[in-house]
Amino acid sequence: MVKKAMNTVYTMWLREMLRFWRSKSRIIGALATPLFFLVILGTGFSSVFQFRGGGTVNIGFFAPGFIGMTILFSSLLGGVSIIWDREFGFLKEILIAPVSRFFVALGKAVGGVTTSLIQGVLIMVIAWFIGVKYVSFLGVLAAIVVMFLSGIGFIGLGIALASKIDSHEGFQMVMSFLTMPLVLLSGAFFPISKLPPWLSILVYANPLTYGVEALRWYLLGNSTIQVELCVAVLVLFALAMTGLGGKMFEKTSV
């Protein structure tokens, strides 16, 4: 039973990896927006803005936010593979196979988060090349773990949404509705320490905030939210969304 489950997870993971590798446009598209923000906006903001009370805004401040943005975009987009599989008939073959649907969804999630990690690490490397200084190699490894937790949570959410949405257009509309508020309310572009109370509620209710703050701590050595709280929230978010995505996928129909 365990071997069959692991084989199912591995097969779905491998399929997602092959699909990612063959889709060069998807790789370029997923990297283009965060890279644009990092190189153009990050450099521009760091040259004209400064923190309240003094001190210039270093481009390193923006790097964790752009890494988090990359993980968010690529993870949620991973859910669209379910819609593709439904349209091309592959999903029907999966659902009638004598394997647990949960492990099929888990394999898709692991494959999706792997592609997200690849893109997140690439952005992290590019940031380092353009001058962002990381505190330690162990901090970089811890940041990759944070990326994994954030990615598995958001791809679980993507799978849950895709299990209930029938078209690419509908999924893209929901994606647009979710991604910009999540990014703008994550502290990727501004410090979250002195916000108005109404805005603080929205920021602290956003799971991406904890991913960005954890990345900021492990990569740069400072954060507004205690890193232990960030990791705890991310673990709970990942578990909850994985369970939700698996449950919704079990109920999906073709």
193-213 confidence digits (pLDDT tens):
878 888 899 999 999 999 999
* The pLDDT of residue 66: 85
Q: Domain containing 123: what range?
A: 2-250
Q: With contact defined as beta carbons under 8 Å apart, do 227 and 217 qualify?
A: yes
Tell me the mean pLDDT in the region 31-38.
Answer: 68
User: Which of 76-90, 125-139, 237-251 is predicted least confidently?
Assistant: 76-90
- pTM as predicted: 0.85
In the three-class reduction of DSSP (H, G, I as helix; E, B as strand; rest coil), residue 56 is classed as strand
Q: How confident is the model over 164-188, as pLDDT tens digits? A: 877 777 777 878 788 888 988 888 8
Calculate the average pLDDT of the chain: 80
Q: Distance between CA 160 and CA 163 in Å, rounded?
A: 5
The pLDDT of residue 108 is: 78
Residues of the chain above pLDDT 90, percent: 23
Length of the chain, in residues: 254
- pLDDT of amino acid 45: 60
Determine whether 45 is exposed, middle or buried from the number of CB atoms within 10 Å of its CB (0-12, 13-18, 19+).
Answer: middle
Total of domains in the chain: 1
pLDDT level of residue 6 (50, 70, 90 thresholds): confident
pLDDT per residue over 49-89, tens digit each?
555 554 555 677 888 888 898 888 888 877 777 777 666 66
CB 26 within 8 A of CB 115: no
What pLDDT is attached to residue 167? 73
Both tokens assigned to 170: 């509908």
- Inform me whether the pLDDT recorded for 123 exceeds 80: yes
**Which pLDDT score is estimated for 33?**
66
Distance of CA 41 to the CA centre of its chain: 21
Q: Write down the pLDDT at residue 206.
A: 94
